[in-house]
Structure 1
């Protein structure tokens, strides 16, 4: 049966999430916490998140949640160890519809055939696949091509960032909805760094790389170059600058990058530089209105 997540469920929910972690064939978007205390803050204390568990004989055997995302909601899960996964997913879809979300997104691991089949059975369509690659500490520095410079951008000018973000990659639009203050706050602190490429002659920004730092791992969340400046090595120079900054911190042991399925050149570059693919996530969408 479906029940809203309660504090009494948190220990079993933490155990369910650890079970999911054991193999890629079970993985989907899920809370980061793996302790009852962390889940309390992430799931129960969150004002926007709505989460449910599936109970079989009083034990947590499934989980799903709705979190605001882009123009609709993102689905955490569905994570199903036993019981009626279809009933849980139907419940989540119904709740998303009642909340007025126009679109519901889901992000299962590509090898999670159970979740993917369930999503497709209930009308979700696969939009694209995102591949994640990682590499250990290594020298990835690369000079900017003639006529350009690459440097760390501080502080972030919201309008410059928004304009470059929209020009660099047609598939990116989430950040375009952020206010100036939200963008400024995003770049405050030591866990997010922005690198930008400029044309020396005009000073015009033509590319960016956004680096996120987390304990021992760094991730390039976004990297892009405007169409008229592509094919000159700017993306490679941005990657090198971000990697050099990340690995200047001795605590950072690995760097993760991502590429969508249509970004064949980026995928080939990462493999050529020694990055190893560690995950592939399929984006699904269901139009509710």
Structure 2
């Protein structure tokens, strides 16, 4: 049966998430915490997240949640160890409709055939696959092409960022919906760095950028883009090198993660050529609710 997550469920929920972590064929978008205390703060204390567990014989055997995302909601899960996974998923879809979300997204690991099958049975459609690659501490420096320069953008100018993002990004518009304050706050902390490439001969107009996110031991390229007229010159490669150099200047950072969508064949080939290894592939699913 479906029940809203309560404090009494948190220990068993932590066990369920640990079980999910053990194999790629079980993984989907899920809370980051893996302790009852961390799950309390992440799942129960937040005002936006709405989470449920599937109980079988009094034990937590499934989990799913709704979190605001883009123009609708993202689905955490479905994570099902035993019991009726379809009943849990249909419950989550009903709750999303009741909340008035126009679209519900899900992000299972590509190897998670069980979750993907459930999603498709309920009406979700696969949109694209995102591949994640990781490399250890490596010198990825690359010369900046003549006529360009790369600088750390601090502080972030929301108008400049938004203009560059709209010119460089041809597949996503997520950041265009962020307010000036949301953009400033995003780049304010030490865990996020922004580098921009500028054309030195055209009034210093920015033509590319890379966003770097850091935690205690790992760095991630969250976004990298170059405007169409500046592509094919090695500028994206130089931006990657600049971000990697900044990340690995911290001796605590042991690895760098990058990502590429399935249509970005050149980026995938470059990452493999540089020595990155594929660590995960996530399929984006969407369900229009209205």
Alignment of 1:18-97 (within 5 A): 18-97=18-97
Equivalence for 1:219: 220
Q: Which sits farther off after the overlay, 165-174 or 127-136?
A: 165-174
Alignment of 1:48-197 (within 5 A): 48-197=48-197
Distance 1:189 1:89 in 2: 36
Deviations for 1:256-281, whole angstroms, at most 9, x for unmatched residues?
00000000000000000000000000
Deviations for 1:219-242, whole angstroms, at most 9, x for unmatched residues?
000000001110000100000000
Distance 2:105 2:167 in 1: 24
Distance 1:189 1:258 in 2: 22
Distance 1:174 1:31 in 2: 22
Distance 2:172 2:246 in 1: 24
Equivalence for 1:286: 287
Deviations for 1:148-177, whole angstroms, at most 9, x for unmatched residues?
011111110001101111111122211111
**1:110 match: secondary structure:** coil
Equivalence for 1:228: 229
Matching of residue 252 in structure 1 with residue 253 in structure 2: yes
Give yes or no for contact 1:54–1:61 (8 Å, CA) kept in 2.
Answer: yes
TM-score normalised by the chain length of structure 2: 0.99
**1:83 match: secondary structure:** coil
Q: Which sits farther off after the overlay, 165-174 or 141-150?
A: 165-174
Matching of residue 275 in structure 1 with residue 273 in structure 2: no
Let me know the Cα RMSD of the aligned residues: 0.5
**1:193 match: secondary structure:** strand
Distance 2:26 2:168 in 1: 34
Structure 1: 5+ residue stretches without partners: none
Deviations for 1:75-101, whole angstroms, at most 9, x for unmatched residues?
000000000000000000000000000
**1:13 match: secondary structure:** helix
Give yes or no for contact 1:165–1:172 (8 Å, CA) kept in 2.
Answer: no
**1:286 match: secondary structure:** strand
Distance 2:171 2:7 in 1: 39
**1:142 match: secondary structure:** coil
Equivalence for 1:209: 210
